[in-house]
A and B are shown apart, each in its own frame.
Chain A
Amino acid sequence: MSFIKTALGSAAALAVLAGAALAEPALMYDLGGKFDKSFNEAAYNGAQRWAEETGESYQEIEVTAEAQRVQFATRLAEAGYNPIVVLGFQNAATVEEVAPKYPDTKFAIIDVSWLDIPNLQQISFAEHEGSYLVGMLAAMASKSGTVGFIGGMDVPLIRHFACGYAQGAKAVNPDINVVANMTGTTPAAWNDPVKGGELTKGQISQGADVVYAAAGGTGVGVLQAAADGNILSIGVDSNQNYLHPGKVLTSMLKRVDNAVYDVFKNGVDGFEPGVMTMGLDNDGVGYALDEYNEALITDEMKAAVDDAKAKIIAGDIEVVSYYANDSCPALDF
């Protein structure tokens, strides 16, 4: 019976959307899905934390096809949800179209920083700084002198991750070889664990003994192949250390959960339009250390990374952003 309930529930989700007129906040997930164990799931965790603390509820909707983006965002605004958090840079065009039509509704978008709309808060993360730290850890953990990077869809955001990672690795070992691959050039690249696994095997045969996956659902395949191939992997966005205990070196944390939590908590009254950057200084990004990987991170490694973190915050180390001039000093694509 519970199966039928789920079926009816998902069919009725849209109908419910049209009816509600409360000033509840809403969250719109990007392709890759709510439970991608990564980016979207982090947002879900943040929203869930807010709901548990306040006892209030929120609306959520999952985009499963390109054509739904504008349609879903419009429905949320039409139904009176406020504020509305939209995930992912691929939704930049969505809010650009929808937000001006609903000036009284507050929108927030994650991973976008280049729009100019008065009722929009843009939250971007300094992924290159977090990736720099895990790049350092990768280089220190690598015995072969080769580390790998596997991206999802080949877009500037993912190159931004790769670029920070390569800079971090080269800061530890200038001679290190960084192998970088992208899974594909279409959104399907976020959900192809088979290809991710094959890419990992390819990198292992090129000598890589630590691979960093910034690939959404594809990353599950990367971490699996790395664990099977007995090398270390690095997770992304959410803490993925628990997926393969002792085989995941660390995870590059991108606190999307904090961002969503803050927007929900501030609500309509505390809404701050403009651009907000979450970096190392305000714990927007970082690396994960827990019981699953404590044996892999030695004290020296931790000390070196924490030192670099302090220097990045103080401005003594500058991690070059891929966005600065659409190229990376440490890595060729």
Chain B
Amino acid sequence: MEFLTLLQVLDSSVRLATPLLFACLAGLFSERAGIFDIGLEGKMLAAAFFSAAFAAVSGSVWIGLLAGIGASMVLSLIHGLASITFRGNQLISGVAINFLASGLTVLIAQDWFQQGGRTPSLSGGARFNEITLPFADTLRDVAYLGPIYSDLISGHTALVYVAFLTVPLTWYVLFRTRFGLRLRAVGENPAAVDTAGISVIRLRFTAVLICGVLCGLAGAYLATGLQAGFVREMSSGRGYIALAALIFAKWRPWYALWACLLFGFLQALSLRPDAVTALVQVRVPGQFLDALPYILTVVILAGFVGKATPPRAGGEPYVKER
């Protein structure tokens, strides 16, 4: 593969990995606190719609972003209410959220905009525009490093940089703060946390709300960063790929970064069959590349590459006394 082609594929990988990364970290917070979240997909979709709708009406992408995060947090609260307060089945609640988001977004979009379940196209300040980092143009001519800086690192929308900064932040919060220690403990042994006099309920709700914020960012990025408007079902299964990435990453922030970049890279490769064919001299079906993230996850789950151990108390509602 030529250097420039590789750079373009990597550039595309970064864009495609960003929503996965947000959603994956969202799942990380939730699942580390012991709440499984199948509803990442639905929250992303709801956030995508509300961010696009509010951005279209107000003309400001920031208002859209807030609306998207808000919508996603509301769904998170529903998930929390069902699975923490009422101790319902977390998987069922998550699936319900996916259905709810899939139907409600189209219904509300049709009611507000009468465009068949989509929002008007966004332009100007109603969407995230690409940011050119300082010196990107002057450094372009430097061999190798120049194009890497000006094409690959510079020229993305603001949320891409936010996503990458969220990784160290997540690591710091989870592994270097008292809150993080408690959050991880509540996913492993909630009874111990309760004995120490810390509210399990409050901790789990906090985790689920953080999950909502991050899913909101993922959805807003889809509708106002990558695309300019909402189209129904536009999350197209990215929430599920993020869940696969979370398992692939063994519930760790830095691994999550690499897992999402890998999955994004595979998606980007499947968009450039010409480059793949030139590289391996054999025609690789795009479907194979699309399926690879799932195949890799199954391989990991089967225990071929290390062992993925989920948080021990994951999926179980906490009951204080029997």
Contact = CB atoms under 8 A, between A and B. Distances in A.
Return the 8 tightest CB-CB contacts between A and B, nearest first.
A35-B116, A205-B8, A6-B111, A192-B236, A202-B271, A3-B111, A193-B231, A193-B227
Interface stretch (A183-191, A259-267, A311-319): A183-191
A202 B8 contact: yes
B116 A41 contact: yes
A243 B120 CA distance: 10
A184 B290 contact: yes
Could you tell me the dominant secondary structure of chain A's interface residues? helix
Contact of B236 (A33, A188, A224, A243): A188
Contacts of A181: 271, 273
A2 B111 CA distance: 8
B215 interface: no
Contacts of B274: 179, 206
Contacts of B222: 194
A7 B109 CA distance: 12
Interface in B218-233: 222, 226-229, 231-233
B18 to A, nearest CB: 11
Interface string A214-226: 0001001100100
A6 B110 contact: yes
B15 interface: yes
Could you tell me the dominant secondary structure of chain B's interface residues? helix
Contact of A197 (B227, B233, B237, B268): B227
B203 interface: no
B125 to A, nearest CB: 15
A185 B287 contact: yes
A35 B118 contact: yes
A3 B115 contact: no
Contacts of B4: 205
Nearest to A33: B116
Nearest to B130: A228
A182 B118 CA distance: 23
Contacts of B243: none
A159 interface: no
B272 interface: yes
Most A CB contacts (10 A, CB to CB) among B110, B116, B121 go to B116
Interface in B12-67: 12, 15-16
Contacts of B110: 6
B246 to A, nearest CB: 20
Interface of A: 2-3, 6-7, 10, 33-36, 41, 179, 181-182, 184-185, 188, 191-195, 197-199, 201-202, 205-206, 217, 220-221, 224, 228, 243
A241 to B, nearest CB: 14
A224 B121 contact: yes
A35 B292 CA distance: 33
Contacts of B233: 188, 191
A191 B232 contact: yes
A10 B111 CA distance: 11
Contacts of A202: 8, 12, 271-272
Interface of B: 4-5, 8, 12, 15-16, 107-108, 110-111, 115-118, 121, 222, 226-229, 231-234, 236-237, 268, 271-274, 286-287, 290
A151 to B, nearest CB: 12
Nearest to A154: B286
Nearest to B225: A194
B116 A194 contact: no
A265 to B, nearest CB: 25
B271 A195 contact: yes
A201 B12 contact: yes
A193 B107 CA distance: 19
A197 B116 contact: no
Given A195-B236, A221-B227, A7 B271 contact: no
Given A192-B234, A194-B236, A198-B15, 15 more contacts: A3-B111, A179-B274, A181-B273, A184-B286, A185-B286, A191-B231, A194-B222, A194-B226, A194-B234, A195-B236, A198-B268, A205-B5, A221-B227, A224-B227, A228-B228
A90 to B, nearest CB: 17
A149 to B, nearest CB: 13
A199 B228 CA distance: 16
A125 to B, nearest CB: 22
A191 B290 CA distance: 16
Nearest to A220: B231
A220 B12 contact: no
Most A CB contacts (10 A, CB to CB) among B108, B229, B272 go to B272
Contact of B226 (A10, A35, A36, A197): A197
Given A188-B236, A191-B231, A193-B234, A199 B116 contact: no
B12 A198 contact: yes
12 contacts: A2-B111, A3-B108, A3-B111, A35-B116, A35-B118, A36-B116, A181-B273, A191-B233, A192-B236, A193-B234, A194-B226, A206-B274
Nearest to A201: B12
A35 B272 CA distance: 30
Nearest to A41: B116
Given A6-B107, A191-B236, A194-B234, A35 B117 contact: yes
Contacts of A184: 286, 290
B227 A33 contact: no
Contacts of B15: 198
Contact of A182 (B108, B229, B286): B286
Contact of B116 (A34, A182, A224, A228): A34
A233 to B, nearest CB: 13
